[in-house]
């Protein structure tokens, strides 16, 4: 960020606006929404500003402007409409040590005025660092539609009741209370005009602690998507914002953690292939232990928690300990990789069977277990297959499929350093080596319709459901 968003305390503080025309009037309208004291510096005022001065809502000085006029201010706006005059006044204001906004001259601005959605005391400020004001206004319009007109009044009511809640409820119960207030029937009642009824509901909930608060901990297994933060689901973001502690994987984008509640504890439990810093048993143990302490726990997994993520082992541990859990699905790597290729996992007339499998081998002496499922119209999405490229190529050759199957590879799908490659079984090892393709990556092996089936020549065990799932 080139600019840092921050809300300034304005009550009783002085704001100076240099100018007496429409630009000055626009800034005056904005600051009048605050509790600041406004002083206009201009030889003359337009009719709107003249009326405000006559009503005693603003101060006005028509005297020649000096540096001292800008001293002891919270904020200064330079808005005369004349670029040369604005530049001169900017120099005087900076001499006085003021924080300055010069209208339409971003290079002279210490502070930039955002687009504002006002549901006071709820205020949403939207900025583009001066690069795209039209976009900021579009976002403002969407936010105006999203936030009900009376939301500020509900927030103010909550503020008045915070002391009452603090006297009766502990920290965890208070968080549950306010989540119930802003997500439940009290907000609905308030939005349709039932302010008194909503207030009674909230007061009763505080006094009786009857708002569905959880007294025991729980765990949410959340799919973070393939990596980039904009592919996590809205439900996943909500669980992050509710979490007391987050256990996250190696491949999770750090920016996703920025979506979590600021004071949530974050614990890295990363596991790299062949180097498990946290054994699975230990991860299961800390999930159970944290939930038993009454915490809301998020187990944040890259991709989808149900696809080669050992989620079943964690669920088994939670079930055995009597811990409530929820599974929040995520965008799995195969979906992200297919989209990166500009295609689809299944295609009518070309590929109507999809197999998700792992490229890792339980028994190095045996070939890939999924290979007997390859038939015309089948696509295999191989997770964790780059390290086994040589065995995969050998297995396809032994099965007589080297001329039937095409291979597409996507490494770090949907991320800035994404790599895409295309090859055949014969060139798989060379391509992965020459292009420096590393995990995480998805290998798509496709045998399209229209090709004659072949007799598999190698002996393999039948595919095991725990390692591969066929979807048709």
Which is it for the CA torsion 90, 96, 97, 101, positive or negative? negative
User: 406: part of which helix (H) or strand (E)?
Assistant: strand 406-411
E-state strands within 241-301: 245-248, 265-268, 271-272, 275-276, 296-301
Cβ contacts of 160 within 8 Å, gap of 6 or more:
none
The total number of residues shown for the chain amounts to 472
- The 10 Å Cβ neighbour count of residue 147 is 15
CA 184, chain centre distance (Å): 23
- The 10 Å Cβ neighbour count of residue 135 is 12
The residue with tokens 């304005």 is 10
Catalytic residue among 203, 271, 366, 467: 271
Q: How far is CA 375 from CA 249, 369, 379, 384, 448, in A?
A: 35, 14, 9, 22, 8
Catalytic residue among 69, 249, 253, 408: 249
The verdict on whether 271 is a catalytic residue reads yes
180 vs 187: CA distance, rounded Å:
9
Q: Which residue in 134, 76, 125 sits closest to 102, CA to CA? A: 76
On whether the CB atoms of residues 136 and 126 are closer than 8 A, the answer is yes
Please, where are the H alpha helices in 410-452? 428-434
The verdict on whether 282 is a catalytic residue reads no
38 vs 24: CA distance, rounded Å:
11
The residue with tokens 């390692």 is 467
Q: How far is CA 370 from CA 134, 356, 377, in A?
A: 53, 9, 15
- For residue 17, the cross-strand partners are 40, 77
Tokens of 184: 């439940």
Q: Which residues are catalytic?
A: 249, 271
């Amino acid at each position: 960020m080139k600019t840092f968003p921050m809300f300034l305390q304005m009550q009783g503080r002085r704001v100076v606006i240099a100018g007496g025309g429409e630009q000055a009037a626009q800034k005056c309208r904005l600051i009048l929404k605050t509790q600041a004291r406004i002083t206009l510096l201009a030889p003359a005022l337009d009719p709107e500003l003249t009326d405000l001065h006559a009503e005693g809502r603003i101060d006005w000085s028509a005297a020649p402007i000096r540096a001292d006029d800008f001293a002891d201010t919270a904020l200064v706006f330079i808005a005369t409409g004349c670029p040369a005059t604005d530049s001169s006044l900017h120099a005087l204001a900076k001499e006085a040590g003021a924080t300055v906004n010069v209208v339409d001259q971003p290079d002279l601005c210490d502070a930039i005025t955002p687009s504002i959605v006002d549901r006071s005391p709820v205020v949403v400020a939207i900025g583009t660092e001066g690069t795209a004001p039209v976009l900021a206004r579009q976002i403002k319009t969407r936010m105006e539609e999203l936030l009900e007109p009376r939301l500020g009044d509900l927030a103010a009511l909550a503020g008045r009741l915070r002391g009452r809640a603090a006297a009766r409820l502990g920290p965890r119960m208070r968080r549950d209370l306010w989540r119930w207030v802003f997500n439940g029937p009290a907000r609905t009642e308030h939005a349709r005009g039932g302010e008194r009824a909503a207030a009674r509901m909230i007061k009763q909930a505080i006094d009786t602690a009857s708002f569905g608060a959880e007294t025991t901990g729980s765990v949410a297994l959340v799919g973070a998507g393939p990596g980039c933060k904009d592919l996590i689901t809205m439900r996943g973001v909500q669980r992050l914002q509710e979490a007391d502690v987050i256990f996250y994987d190696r491949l999770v984008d750090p920016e996703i953690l920025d979506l979590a509640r600021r004071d949530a504890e974050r614990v890295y439990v990363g596991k790299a292939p062949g180097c498990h810093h946290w054994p699975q048993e230990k991860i299961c143990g800390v999930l159970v232990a944290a939930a038993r302490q009454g915490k809301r726990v998020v187990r944040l997994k890259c991709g989808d928690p149900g696809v080669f993520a050992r989620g079943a082992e964690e669920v088994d541990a939670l079930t055995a300990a009597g811990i409530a859990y929820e599974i929040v699905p995520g965008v799995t790597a195969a979906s992200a990789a297919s989209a990166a290729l500009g295609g689809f996992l299944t295609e009518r007339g070309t590929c109507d069977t999809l197999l998700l499998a792992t490229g890792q081998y339980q028994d190095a002496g045996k070939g890939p277990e999924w290979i007997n499922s390859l038939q015309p119209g089948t696509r295999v999405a191989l997770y964790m297959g780059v390290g086994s490229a040589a065995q995969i190529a050998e297995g396809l050759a032994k099965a007589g499929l080297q001329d039937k199957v095409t291979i597409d590879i996507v490494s770090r799908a949907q991320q800035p350093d994404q790599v895409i490659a295309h090859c055949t079984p014969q060139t798989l090892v060379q391509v992965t080596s020459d292009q420096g393709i590393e995990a995480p990556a998805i290998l798509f092996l496709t045998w399209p319709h229209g090709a004659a089936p072949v007799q598999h020549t190698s002996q393999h065990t039948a595919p095991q459901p725990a390692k591969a799932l066929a979807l048709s």
